[in-house]
Amino acid sequence: MPKKSLPCPQKKLEEISQQYGTPFYLYSEKEIHHRATLLRKAFDCFTGFQEFFAIKATPTPKIMELFRDYGFGMDASSIAELVLCEKLGITGENIMFSSNGTKPEEFRKAQEMGAIINVDDISLLDNLSASGCSFPELICFRINPGNKKTGNTIIGNPVDAKFGITLDQVIPAYKKAKALGAKRFGIHTMTGSNILDEHYFPETTTLLTDIAKELKSELDIDLEFINIGGGFGIPYREEEEELNIENIAKNIQKIFINAFPEHQPKLFMEIGRWLTGPTGWLISKVVSRKDIYKKYVVLDSSMADLMRPGMYNAYHHISIANDEKKTEIVDVVGSLCENNDKFAIDRELPVSKQGDLVVIHDTGAHGRAMGFNYNGKLRAQEILLRTDGTTQRIRRPETLEDYFSTLIF
């Protein structure tokens, strides 16, 4: 089992911290390229395979640019994410627009950009028709398989999840879209996130290929693509293993060839976490140590920068960048006035002192992106560690001015 190491040698980390100040997110360009290459290689066996990077995981232009230059599309779910694409020159069917509770103006923006429209509910066809654009030629629905599939704590069990249409609604939904003028069709589902069971994804595929056959026999629809969503998990814990994505690709291919012996639809996915999670670290400094009923290591970041532990009880590995061999059991906490502002509880870590750098691992996805401003906390900057070893600030830290910019006195 691989030990999680620092993103770069300790001395270099100290230099970067001095140059930019803490806290900051650090991303490794080398690792991003590495994972993008692994994904592409594994799914090379499909013709027309396309990954749409889930923007919400890491909505930072420079990171998106790396994936754009890699030939990946983008999975957007809001106007802001569409505009991010627009600014990076990503348009047309390189964008999958998968939103829920979608308003007519959101559909309009997506349609103006030529994005693939993924509809979350039959009722939303009315908002789509009211967007002011003509009804899209290419349409896709998000399927919620209900009790045919299990989910997890991040997305919830499909039967309890707010997303998608039920299996019974599939035929009526596509029928209605056809009547409204749709001529090209795709299908989508996304039922779980951070899944480390490689069988999960072939199972998801079977679910969709079965529906595809039904759409063919009932409505004579030949699907252009099958989008199995995101959800590839990453080993947050040192004892967990990386997914074998080559096996996943091979097994999905078998299902495709079986289901469509003559002409296979394209395989799409919207991986977020798997691509950027392990390629980012939150670097903070120890502000103080506190010894009361328990021992606390207090950092200069807080759950406003990384809310996954507070929100989902998620585990993130933590390293202290010092040479200390002696360990202690501590809670690693931030400075928010919220008792769930804890990065780790009862964690055994090397004894740290004020000023030490603390590295929170696997925070590249759904990290900075989920940050918030509660308690007037300002969110951290983002730094890219380039392949050539140099660094670049790719997002500045928030300032008080940013915080006050919406206030009316």
Ligand X SMILES: *Cc1c(COP(=O)(O)O)cnc(C)c1O
Question: For tokens 């070893």, what's the residue?
Answer: 389
The Cα-based distances of 32 to 20, 36, 65, 186 in angstroms read 22, 6, 11, 29
**165 bridge partner residues:** 143
Cβ count near 277 (within 10 Å): 24
Taking the complex as a whole, the smallest distance from the CB of residue 149 to ligand X amounts, in Å, to: 15
Taking the complex as a whole, the smallest distance from the CB of residue 193 to ligand X amounts, in Å, to: 3
Nearest CA to 360 among 373, 343, 377? 343
Taking the complex as a whole, the smallest distance from the CB of residue 49 to ligand X amounts, in Å, to: 16
Taking the complex as a whole, the smallest distance from the CB of residue 321 to ligand X amounts, in Å, to: 28
301 near ligand X, rule: CB under 6 A: no
Of 31-39, 54-62, 165-173, 294-302, the segment contacting ligand X by CB under 6 A is: 54-62
Of 129-137, 224-232, 322-330, 353-361, the segment contacting ligand X by CB under 6 A is: 224-232
Q: Cis (ω within 30 of 0) for the bond into 23? A: yes
Taking the complex as a whole, the smallest distance from the CB of residue 120 to ligand X amounts, in Å, to: 9
Of 20 and 72, nearer to ligand X (C-beta) is 72
Alpha helices in 289-357 (DSSP H): 308-312
229 near ligand X, rule: CB under 6 A: yes
234 near ligand X, rule: CB under 6 A: no
Cβ count near 47 (within 10 Å): 8
Distance CA 308, CA 232 (A): 17
Residues 335-364 that bind ligand X (CB under 6 A): none
Question: Is there a contact between 363 and 315 (Cβ–Cβ < 8 Å)?
Answer: no
**360 bridge partner residues:** 282, 318
Total residue count of the chain as it appears in this document: 409
Of 16-24, 40-48, 230-238, 288-296, the segment contacting ligand X by CB under 6 A is: 230-238
Of 163 and 281, nearer to ligand X (C-beta) is 163
Of 155 and 303, nearer to ligand X (C-beta) is 155
List the x/- string, 364-403, binding to ligand X by CB under 6 A: -x--------------------------------------
57 near ligand X, rule: CB under 6 A: yes
Taking the complex as a whole, the smallest distance from the CB of residue 129 to ligand X amounts, in Å, to: 22
Binder of ligand X out of 23, 272, 280, 364 (CB under 6 A): 272
- Sequence-distant (6+) residues with CB within 8 A of 344 are 309, 316, 318, 330, 331, 332
Angle of helix 104-112 relative to helix 79-87, nearest 10 degrees, comes to 20
- How many residues in the shown chain lie near ligand X by CB under 6 A? 18
Of 128 and 297, nearer to ligand X (C-beta) is 128
Taking the complex as a whole, the smallest distance from the CB of residue 142 to ligand X amounts, in Å, to: 7
Angle of helix 29-42 relative to helix 245-259, nearest 10 degrees, comes to 30
Question: Is there a contact between 352 and 285 (Cβ–Cβ < 8 Å)?
Answer: no
Q: State the sign of the Cα–Cα–Cα–Cα dihedral 16, 366, 371, 61.
A: positive
Of 20 and 163, nearer to ligand X (C-beta) is 163
Of 241-249, 269-277, 316-324, 349-357, the segment contacting ligand X by CB under 6 A is: 269-277
Of 368 and 377, nearer to ligand X (C-beta) is 368
Q: State the sign of the Cα–Cα–Cα–Cα dihedral 26, 82, 77, 271.
A: negative
29 near ligand X, rule: CB under 6 A: no
Instruction: Give the residue nearest to ligand X (CB).
Output: 230
Binder of ligand X out of 29, 51, 106, 270 (CB under 6 A): 270
Structure tokens of 256?
């495709």
How many Å is the Cα radius of gyration of the chain? 22
Binder of ligand X out of 35, 68, 109, 273 (CB under 6 A): 273
Distance CA 141, CA 221 (A): 13
Cβ count near 112 (within 10 Å): 14
193 near ligand X, rule: CB under 6 A: yes
Of 143 and 336, nearer to ligand X (C-beta) is 143
Contacting residues toward ligand X, per CB under 6 A: 54, 56-57, 75, 98, 190, 193-194, 229-232, 270-274, 365
